[in-house]
Each structure stands twice: as C-alpha cells, then as structure tokens.
Amino acid sequence: REYAQGDDLRHVNWKLFARTNRLYVKQFDAETNMNLYLLMDVSGSMSCKNTGVSKLEYGAALAAALAHLALKQHDAVGLVLYADEVLAHLPPRSQPHQLSEVLRAIHGAKPQRQSNAARALPQAAELCKHRGIVVVLSDLFDDIDAVMQGIEQLRFRNHEVILFHLWDKWERDLPLEGHCRFHDLETGETLLTQADGVRDSYLKEVRQWCGELEVQCRNRAVDRVELTTDEPLDQALLDYLVKRAKSF
C-alpha cells in the first residue's frame, strides 16, 4: 500500500520507489500458525463398544477431523498415543503429508493396558515442546487427581488444553435391566449384579464424578467437552467449534 505519514521507514519498498518514484510500504501477513497436539488415550477401556463405534474409533475420527482442519490452515499437528505411558509419538509438522502419518498412527492403534494418566500425561507434556493447543481425547477412567496432575503439566507449559471426554452411552446411562455381567476392559475383572438395583447409585456416582471433574477443569482453565459415541461426529464437532468461536 502507499506510504502514509508515521509508517515505519524500514518497511518502505525502495526498489518499487526507484521504478515508480512513489513510496509504498510492504505489508506482512500476521504470523498465526500454531501447534496442535493430539493426545489420544488408547488404554483398554477405550475399546468399549455397546452400540455403533467404540470410544477409540470415535476418538480416532475426531482426531483425524481436527488434524485435517489444522493442516488446511497450515498449522503444525503432532500426535501422542498413551495408556499407562506414552506408546507412540509424531512430532508436530505442517506439511500436507502429516495427515497421512496421523491417520496411519491412529487407525493402527490398538486398545491396550491400564490407564495411568499421572505417569503418561507428564511424559506427553515433555513432548509438547512449543506452546500451542493440546487436545486430549479420553474416557478419563482414572483417578481425577491423577488426570489433573497431568493436565497441570500441560498448563504449566502455557498450552491451551481442550479435553474431549468420551462416553459410551451405556456407560453413562446404564440402560440395562435384570441380571448383567459387567467386564472391566483394563483389569479383566467381572461383576454379576442386578442392573436395576444399582442404577440409581451408579448414576449418582457418575454425576458426582463428572461434577468434580468439571470443577477441577474450570479451576485450571481447561475446556471440557462431553461426547457420547452415538452423537453424529460432524454435528458434535461443528457445535463445539461454533461455541468456541462465540467465546472469543
């Protein structure tokens, strides 16, 4: 654009001035590229699949969609797969082929081991070296204090943290009747009980646990988003992005 009084003379395009005898200043696009780190829980409980897709499959699709959106904006995308420790890591890259690398890693992930957020998330934080947005995709089946210890390591490094809390609808609502056998996907333990007899107390525990988790996240400026695997992924993601845009 043409030079205006007060413009920094360091930005004057002197070569153009020599040709035109008019003063123009160079304009620069704002540097807005960021780092997006996808931290994906691949512990055994993520394989839960009572209807439709498992939590791991749902989380993988969500991670892929976020990676695609970020790379279209020329942002760098990194990936960490974890359970009781970090199991795989892709450093952040902004090249288009990074999407293929992310897709290959997340679709090759197999649910395994027990979760240990107190150990795994600090390890992941060490890999998120440059300030950015960290998206954690997990069912959070772990001790709340353990999860928060890991989250604090990420916040200490000045990352913005978004927590996608994934549920299977049956886990959250327990829509069962009669005698049921429950199987722990991480420990292998089983429990035979009357579903009708434990539903009320179970749902009360879930509400209290989620309430405490929400308070802990809010105290640390962490955005927690609850999703169930029966929700259409595209609409769920759109709803969140619209809500996020309105908050700025």
Element (H, E) at 224: strand 223-228
CA-to-CA distance for 3 and 126, rounded, in angstroms? Answer: 46
Question: Which pLDDT belongs to residue 110?
Answer: 87
- Both structure tokens of 211: 């309430």
CA-to-CA distance for 136 and 164, rounded, in angstroms? Answer: 6
Which residues are paired to 166 by β-bridges? 227
Task: Say which range, 77-81, 127-131, 142-146, 209-213, has the weakest mean pLDDT.
Answer: 142-146
Model's pTM, two decimal places? 0.82
Question: 144, 216 in Cβ contact below 8 A?
Answer: yes
Question: 92, 119 in Cβ contact below 8 A?
Answer: no
The mean per-residue pLDDT over the stretch 104-123 comes to 91
Domains, the chain, in order of start with CATH, read 1-30 (no CATH), 35-166+222-246 (3.40.50.410)
Instruction: Assign 91 a pLDDT band (cuts: 50, 70, 90).
Output: very high
Question: Within 13 A of 142's CA, how many CA atoms are on the CB side?
Answer: 26
For 5-62, what is each residue's pLDDT tens digit?
666 666 777 777 778 877 777 765 444 579 999 999 999 999 989 878 999 999 999 9
User: Of 109, 36, 115, which is closest to residue 71 (Cα–Cα)?
Assistant: 36
First to last CA, the chain: 30
Q: Is the confidence at residue 88, as pLDDT, over 90?
A: yes
Q: Give all strands (DSSP E) within 10-75, no chain letters.
A: 35-41
